[in-house]
């Protein structure tokens, strides 16, 4: 967030700017996520800023303000987001370097110990008939090695401490990485984690030749539900669907919040037929639950999801796989919602 905007948000105009940003998002059908809110604050407060101009261009062109577009804008224009990405990249590189250092420390320690043992063994193996000069030389080398080992004991202790610190630092970096790759509302993988997981799954499928299926899911009529019951109850519904989806996830599968009320499930080693069965179980479990508003215990009724799936074709890039799964999702919506559609065969299963 720019310094000028930070000052505005700590002054008397803060509440007015916040309301103005929320109104602008609502008027343009933009989901009020924290990231979107920060971007639209720039738009309403500083329209001549790079973020303000970028959003204005999108509105003039009639482009939808999707989660992907928001992430792109943030990565380009919000220093905090850029810094988080740079820190994550730097952390990954540092972790690899620390692995190398740890292995080098351990190897040096083992080599030093082995060398000392060899010299001690050689000294002991010389009998009384060995030339005095050779015995003296071996004994001198063994004694020198022992002195070096004693002198290096402090250094070795420090290296051991460093190795332990390296381990703690690596664990911390991994924790930071997990946080950066997790959706805060649902604890599922976020969009960045989804993109990376799908890339790995595609590469692995190319090597193994095993099937790979991608599914995308969307909560039906969510905007109407959200408008009727409010965003907090809407978040409750999103977490409920995420919980059902999480039970189908777990390594090597990846369940992710793709954006807003849309989710994704990556299914390595699963073909379209098996995936259809898994997704139908998810769809039926979601629809079978009668929900209550947590704050008042009012009956909310049931929610349903529409699902699209696509089994990856040989050599197909991940962008094409996503497009086909998305097309299958919209086919489910056009056919009446609350159903699962296979992109390849355009076969739907419905309640």
Q: What is the pLDDT of residues 302-330, one digit of tens each?
A: 899 999 999 999 999 999 999 999 999 99
Please tell me whether residues 210 and 159 are part of one structural domain: no
Please tell me whether residues 201 and 264 are part of one structural domain: yes
The domain spanning residue 213 has which CATH number? 3.30.70.270
321 lies in some domain: yes
Domains: count for the chain: 3
Please tell me whether residues 129 and 219 are part of one structural domain: no
Please tell me whether residues 144 and 205 are part of one structural domain: no
* Mean pLDDT score, 189-195: 91
202 lies in some domain: yes
Mean pLDDT score of the chain, rounded to an integer?
80
* Mean pLDDT score, 205-225: 94
Residue after which a domain boundary falls, among 61, 77, 93: 77
295 lies in some domain: yes
pTM higher than 0.85 for the full model?
A: no
Residue after which a domain boundary falls, among 77, 104, 135: 77
In the three-class reduction of DSSP (H, G, I as helix; E, B as strand; rest coil), residue 286 is classed as helix
Please tell me whether residues 60 and 91 are part of one structural domain: no
Please tell me whether residues 301 and 235 are part of one structural domain: yes
Residue after which a domain boundary falls, among 147, 180, 213: 180
The residue ranking higher by pLDDT, 109 or 19, is: 19
* Mean pLDDT score, 251-258: 91
CA distance 76 to 19: 25
185 lies in some domain: no
Please tell me whether residues 54 and 101 are part of one structural domain: no
Strands 291-292 and 262-268, how do they pair?
unpaired
Residue 247 burial (CB < 10 Å; 0-12/13-18/19+)?
A: exposed
Please tell me whether residues 196 and 71 are part of one structural domain: no
Give the pLDDT of residue 5: 59
- Minimal CA–CA distance to 254: which of 210, 313, 197, 186? 197
> Which residues pair with residue 334 across a beta bridge?
none
Domain that includes residue 136, residue range: 83-180
Axis crossing angle, helix 191-208 with helix 67-77, rounded to the nearest 10: 110
Q: pLDDT-derived band of residue 146, with 50, 70 and 90 as boundaries?
A: low
Please tell me whether residues 204 and 234 are part of one structural domain: yes
Please tell me whether residues 14 and 53 are part of one structural domain: yes
Residue 168 burial (CB < 10 Å; 0-12/13-18/19+)?
A: exposed
Catalytic residues: 261
The residue ranking higher by pLDDT, 22 or 5, is: 22
298 lies in some domain: yes
The residue ranking higher by pLDDT, 95 or 158, is: 158
Please tell me whether residues 237 and 316 are part of one structural domain: yes
186 lies in some domain: no
Please tell me whether residues 212 and 330 are part of one structural domain: yes
């Amino acid at each position: 967030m720019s310094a000028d905007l930070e000052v505005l948000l700590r002054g008397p105009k803060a509440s007015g700017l916040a309301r103005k940003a929320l109104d602008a998002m609502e008027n343009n059908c933009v989901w009020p996520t924290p990231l979107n809110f920060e971007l639209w604050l720039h738009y309403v407060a500083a329209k001549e800023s790079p973020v303000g101009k970028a959003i204005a261009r999108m509105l003039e062109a009639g482009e939808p303000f999707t989660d992907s577009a928001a992430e792109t804008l943030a990565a380009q224009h919000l220093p905090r987001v850029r810094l988080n990405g740079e820190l994550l990249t730097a952390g990954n590189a540092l972790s690899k370097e620390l692995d190398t250092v740890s292995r080098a420390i351990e190897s040096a320690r083992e080599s030093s110990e082995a060398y000392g043992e060899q010299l001690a063994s050689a000294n002991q193996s010389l009998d009384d008939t060995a030339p005095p000069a050779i015995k003296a030389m071996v004994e001198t080398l063994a004694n020198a090695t022992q002195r070096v080992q004693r002198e290096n004991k402090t250094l070795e202790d420090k290296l051991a401490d460093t190795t332990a610190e390296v381990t703690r630092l690596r664990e911390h970096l991994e924790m930071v990485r997990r946080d950066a790759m997790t959706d805060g509302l649902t604890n599922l993988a976020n969009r960045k984690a989804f993109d990376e997981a799908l890339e790995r799954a595609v590469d692995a499928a190319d090597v193994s030749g095993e099937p790979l299926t991608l599914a995308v899911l969307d909560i039906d009529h969510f905007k109407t539900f959200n408008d009727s019951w409010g965003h907090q109850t809407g978040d409750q519904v999103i977490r409920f669907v995420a919980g059902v989806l999480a039970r189908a996830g777990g390594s090597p599968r990846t369940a992710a919040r793709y954006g807003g009320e849309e989710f994704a499930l990556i299914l390595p080693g699963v073909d379209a037929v098996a995936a259809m069965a898994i997704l139908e179980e998810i769809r039926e479990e979601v629809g079978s639950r009668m929900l209550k508003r947590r704050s008042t215990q009012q009956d909310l009724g049931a929610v349903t999801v529409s699902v699209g799936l696509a089994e990856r074709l040989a050599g197909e890039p991940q962008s094409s796989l996503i497009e086909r799964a998305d097309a299958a999702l919209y086919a489910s919506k056009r056919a009446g919602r609350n159903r699962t559609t296979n992109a390849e065969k355009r076969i739907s299963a419905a309640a």
